[in-house]
A = this chain, B = another copy of it.
Amino acid sequence: MSHQSFHPPLRTLMGPGPSDVNPRVLEAMSRPTIGHLDPMFVALMDDMKVLLRYAFQTDYDLAMPVSAPGSAGMETCFVNLVEPGDTVLVCQNGVFGGRMKENVERCGATAVMVEDEWGKPVDPNKVEEALKANPDIRLVAFVHAETSTGAISDAKTLAEIAHRHDCLIIADCVTSLGGSPLKVSEWGLDAVYSGTQKCLSCTPGLSPVTFSPAAIERIQNRKSKVQSWFMDLNLVLGYWGGGAKRAYHHTAPINALYGLHESLVILEEEGIENACQRHQHNHSALRAGIEAMGLSFVVDEACRLPQLNSVTIPDGVDEAAVRSRLLNEYNLEIGAGLGPLAGKIWRIGLMGFASNQTNVLLCLGALDAVLTDMKAPIKSGVAVEAAMKVFAS
């Protein structure tokens, strides 16, 4: 056997993530590796914590990346804050609430579910009712920006309700961080995890997290050991916590962290408010084109994520064939629907570096051409022009 180096095609990534990576991030990742206890690397870790606090808009001391993808960030929140026998309120309005339930149960705890239709935000009234009905609950979990549907929930209100009922609150901010307003400490979110491969324009593989002092206190006062050695924050903080002397826990993914650092520097340069506005603006242009074609959005405008656009598939169209043609003929990746939305929607991401005019026009032009060629029931030849009007305005 003889294997060759892998040279990937140059895709435009407009699915649910990974999204297009800023070339500065790719370049940063290829810099020389240094040791995980090197004083220069420890200084980088300190710098990254400051940058993560800015990205999360948090004044919590604990802000760091978990050395694994977003699902490990989710699990880090649950295994540290849940103990066997606990009851946890989990809000589900898409795929990731279901994954939270799995996490709760694998910690030996019980999940009380608050269910909302996929594509709708979490209903705060239902959360309030569920907490009234279950006074033992001390932890609430919800997804801020549901990547499976494109709906954003009211994190501030949910945190207020949770705190009024003496609960801590876990928020999945994988897709919101860097793309939608997120004010972790002002809103009082207690444990927040995100991912690098969405609006941070970084490669996948790391999960930034931040924890409130109240969350840390609960972790330090646990009756049982955290079931995961790798994710036990009591141990991880011996390395990521303050102080010049760091204890070895695991070997940090050095070059991936170079990339995350660079992406956070880029976010600071642009400014979070500007980044959010950019996401909104490019969404408006995409929307104009999509609607001009006669297609519609799954999620109401009031709770629609600008970075994740769920678009209904026109009648009689083989949606997988459309995605294949976009990939093969235009090197353009868009996403499929999941769960009850599988086969019913496309998910078009405009995340981070990928949220730009070129991508909007490419996506609309390619979709228009492929659907027209497949004789789909759309209005042809008008999408790009509609988007251009928004850009020109």
Known contacts A251-B195, A256-B205, A256-B256: does B33 contact A6 (CB below 8 Å)?
Answer: no
Contact of A35 among B18, B35, B229 (CB under 8 A): B18
Q: CB-defined interface of A1-32 with B at 8 Å, one 1/0 digit per residue? A: 11111111111010101101100101111111
- Show 19 A/B contacts (Cβ-Cβ < 8 Å), sorted by A: A3-B265, A5-B265, A8-B31, A8-B40, A8-B258, A13-B35, A18-B36, A21-B32, A21-B255, A29-B29, A38-B333, A68-B68, A70-B250, A72-B72, A106-B226, A106-B228, A203-B253, A203-B256, A256-B256
Q: Is the CB of B28 within 8 A of A5?
A: yes
Q: Is the CB of B34 within 8 A of A251?
A: no
Q: CB-defined interface of A37-58 with B at 8 Å, one 1/0 digit per residue? A: 0111100100100110010000
* Total A residues in contact with B, Cβ cutoff 8 Å: 82
Q: Is the CB of A69 within 8 A of B6?
A: no
Taking the complex as formed, is A391 at the interface, i.e. its CB lies under 8 A from any CB of chain B?
no
Taking the complex as formed, is A149 at the interface, i.e. its CB lies under 8 A from any CB of chain B?
no
Q: Which 5 A-B pairs have the closest CB atoms?
A: A205-B253, A68-B68, A30-B30, A71-B250, A203-B255
Taking the complex as formed, is A230 at the interface, i.e. its CB lies under 8 A from any CB of chain B?
yes
- Closest B residue to A14 by CB, please name it: B35
A residues near B (Cβ < 8 Å) are 1-11, 13, 15, 17-18, 20-21, 24, 26-36, 38-41, 44, 47, 50-51, 54, 67-72, 75, 79, 99, 102-103, 105-107, 195, 197, 203-205, 225-230, 248-256, 258-259, 261-262, 264-265, 268, 327, 333, 338
Q: Report how far A35 CA is from B75 CA in the complex, Å.
A: 23
Q: Is the CB of A17 within 8 A of B251?
A: yes
- CB A247 to nearest CB in B, in angstroms, measures 10
- Among A18, A36, A225, A327, max chain B CB count under 10 A is at A18
Q: Report how far A248 CA is from B264 CA in the complex, Å.
A: 27
- CB A207 to nearest CB in B, in angstroms, measures 10
Q: Is the CB of A72 within 8 A of B8?
A: no
Contact of A18 among B70, B79, B99, B254 (CB under 8 A): B254
Q: Is the CB of B26 within 8 A of A255?
A: yes
- Among A7, A29, A69, A255, max chain B CB count under 10 A is at A255
- Closest B residue to A336 by CB, please name it: B37
Q: Report how far A10 CA is from B203 CA in the complex, Å.
A: 23
Contacts of A6 in B (CB 8 A): 28, 31, 44, 47, 258, 261-262
Contact of A204 among B50, B54, B228, B251 (CB under 8 A): B251
- CB A157 to nearest CB in B, in angstroms, measures 28
Contacts of A21 in B (CB 8 A): 32-33, 255
